[in-house]
Chain A
Amino acid sequence: GQQVMQIPQYQHVQEGEDFTTYCNSSTTLSNIQWYKQRPGGHPVFLIQLVKSGEVKKQKRLTFQFGEAKKNSSLHITATQTTDVGTYFCLIGFQKLVFGTGTRLLVSP
């Protein structure tokens, strides 16, 4: 079935460092969503990207949709301990499929 790979699987950073996770699809997407799941919590919607090459910012978070609409990235500038969690992309091509996720650990 449809597989949506995210890299890296896991990243451990020092507070203040930047972080990026990438979401790659084997098919061209109509749109993509990003969610954050804190440890022991549930997924929380962050953003939806629709247009080719789209870039959206939310404070320290920058989301990008690839020109070919097959990949997306989430970049966090100057991480904080509150950024800890797993970041998932979600695609809705034919069926709803979450990416494999990137687990972020931030040390103070």
Chain B
Amino acid sequence: DTEVTQTPKHLVMGMTNKKSLKCEQHMGHRAMYWYKQKAKKPPELMFVYSYEKLSINESVPSRFSPECPNSSLLNLHLHALQPEDSALYLCASSQEAAGGFETQYFGPGTRLLVL
């Protein structure tokens, strides 16, 4: 199984809402990633978890809060977002992140619209 799944596929939320994005993989990968992608732009790295610990936070605003409950799951909690946060949020996984630059397997993404 080389699939990364993400839910929901689409999400519309107001600026005062709290919502969560979910990502799951069953490939036994120990590194998981969150990316943000605006239209016609490349994905931008937000967070990396390695062995369930946050290893990279690319200076992401605190209104985005990642969580890795176990090695297969990755969440992104959203609170008080702004309209400019509207984007495609991509989750990815790789075998390991520490010390390597590995093949990443991406999920289909969640299209987020903040009103």
Specify which of B40, B92, B101 is in contact with A92 (CB 8 Å cutoff): B101
Chain B, interface size category, equals: 20 to 34
Contact B101 A45 (CB under 8 A): no
| Bound Cα distance A48, B106 (Å) | 16
Q: Is A59 close to B, CB under 8 A?
A: no
Which chain A positions have C-beta within 8 A of B104? 33, 43, 45, 90
Q: Are B42 and A45 in contact (CB under 8 A)?
A: no
Distance of A93 from chain B, by nearest CB (Å): 9
Min CB–CB distance A101 → chain B (angstroms): 5
Q: Give Cα distance in the complex from A41 to B106, angstroms.
A: 10
The total of Cβ contacts below 8 Å across the A-B interface reads 42
Q: How large is the interface on A (under 10, 10 to 19, 20 to 34, 35 or more residues)?
A: 20 to 34
Q: Are A96 and B106 in contact (CB under 8 A)?
A: no
Main secondary structure, interface of B, reads: loop
Specify the chain B residue showing the minimal Cβ separation from A88: B42
| Nearest A-chain residue to B56, judged by Cβ | A95
Flag if A43 contacts B90 (CB, 8 Å). yes
A30 and B101 within 8 A (CB): yes
Cβ B58 vs Cβ A42 within 8 A: no
Measured between alpha carbons, how far is A100 from B103 in the docked complex, in Å? Answer: 19
Cβ-based interface call for A98 (8 A) = yes
State whether B58 touches A95 (Cβ < 8 A).
Answer: yes
- A71-108 CB contacts (< 8 Å) to partner B: 88, 90, 92, 95-101, 103
Additional A-B contact list (19), CB under 8 Å, known A41-B108, A88-B43, A92-B101: A30-B101, A33-B103, A33-B104, A42-B90, A42-B107, A42-B108, A43-B43, A43-B92, A43-B106, A45-B103, A48-B101, A88-B42, A90-B104, A95-B45, A95-B58, A96-B45, A96-B48, A100-B42, A103-B40
